[in-house]
């Protein structure tokens, strides 16, 4: 379990490492992309960690997953999202929106199976929604995320979405609709570029929202 202090050290360090995905959590086909949602380890994480999460703060921040695992060593997280959020890191509960994990409390990002999967939505979701396995996988994603949102939305006074790519943002908005929760309850942070190019902009929008 990774701590806020460890995140601080990682962001300030030049060290990076990459975990190799395990075979059964590596998606190489549309069939794999559906099967992985019902992998026992993926389901166990969702039911026993994501759905049993105990909030630590009253502000929730949501960011996208990364191809590089663990997330915190990826360029987008280490030099982007985490760097921008570092001044607030002890005051927020940080979550990753992920396929197939659905929702990952950041403290678990150095643990199996979160650090051990490989699922590229650009290959196995985007532009392929006419394919039955992909449509089924999307429905599972939305249903599980909607279920989590239904449970935890009321437990956070402020909710911030830093989901720059339209894919994860659209999935989250569909999950909100399923949960019958207005999107207006969530602050959507805008970005003009990649995360590591938008650190100041992300920081400023989050700071302004938290001050309001």
Nearest Cα neighbor of 110 from 138, 70, 150 is: 70
pLDDT digits (tens, 9 = 90+) for 55-96: 999 999 999 999 999 999 999 999 999 999 999 999 999 999
pLDDT digits (tens, 9 = 90+) for 101-126: 999 999 999 999 999 999 999 899 88
Tell me which H or E stretch contains 199: helix 199-211
Q: Give how far the C-alpha of residue 32 lies from the chain's centroid of Cα atoms, to the nearest Å.
A: 20
21 secondary structure, DSSP code: P
Percent of the chain with pLDDT over 90: 93
Domains of the chain with bracketed CATH = 4-211 (3.40.50.10630)
Residue 165 has pLDDT above 80, yes or no: no
pLDDT digits (tens, 9 = 90+) for 18-48: 999 999 999 999 999 999 999 999 999 999 9
The reported pTM is 0.96
129, 130, 132, 134: CA torsion to nearest 10: -20
Structure tokens at 195: 């995360």
Nearest Cα neighbor of 55 from 155, 154, 144, 149 is: 155
């Amino acid at each position: 379990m990774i701590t806020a202090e460890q995140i601080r050290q990682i962001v300030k360090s030049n060290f990076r490492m990459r975990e190799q995905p395990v075979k059964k959590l590596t998606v190489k086909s549309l069939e794999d992309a559906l099967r992985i949602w019902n992998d026992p380890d993926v389901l166990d994480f969702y039911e026993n960690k994501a759905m049993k999460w105990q909030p630590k703060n009253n502000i929730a921040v949501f960011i996208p997953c990364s191809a590089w695992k663990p997330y915190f060593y990826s360029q987008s997280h280490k030099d982007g999202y985490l760097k921008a959020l570092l001044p607030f890191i002890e005051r927020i509960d940080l979550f990753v929106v992920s396929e197939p994990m659905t929702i990952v409390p950041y403290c678990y990002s150095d643990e199996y199976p979160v650090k051990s999967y490989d699922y590229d939505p650009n290959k196995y979701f985007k532009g392929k929604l006419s394919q039955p396995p992909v449509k089924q996988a999307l429905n599972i994603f939305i249903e599980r995320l909607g279920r989590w949102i239904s449970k935890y939305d009321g437990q956070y006074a402020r909710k911030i979405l830093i989901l720059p790519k339209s894919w994860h943002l659209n999935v989250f908005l569909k999950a909100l609709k399923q949960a019958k929760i207005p999107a207006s309850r969530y602050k959507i942070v805008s970005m003009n570029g990649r995360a590591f190019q938008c650190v100041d902009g992300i920081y400023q929008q989050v700071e302004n929202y938290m001050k309001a």
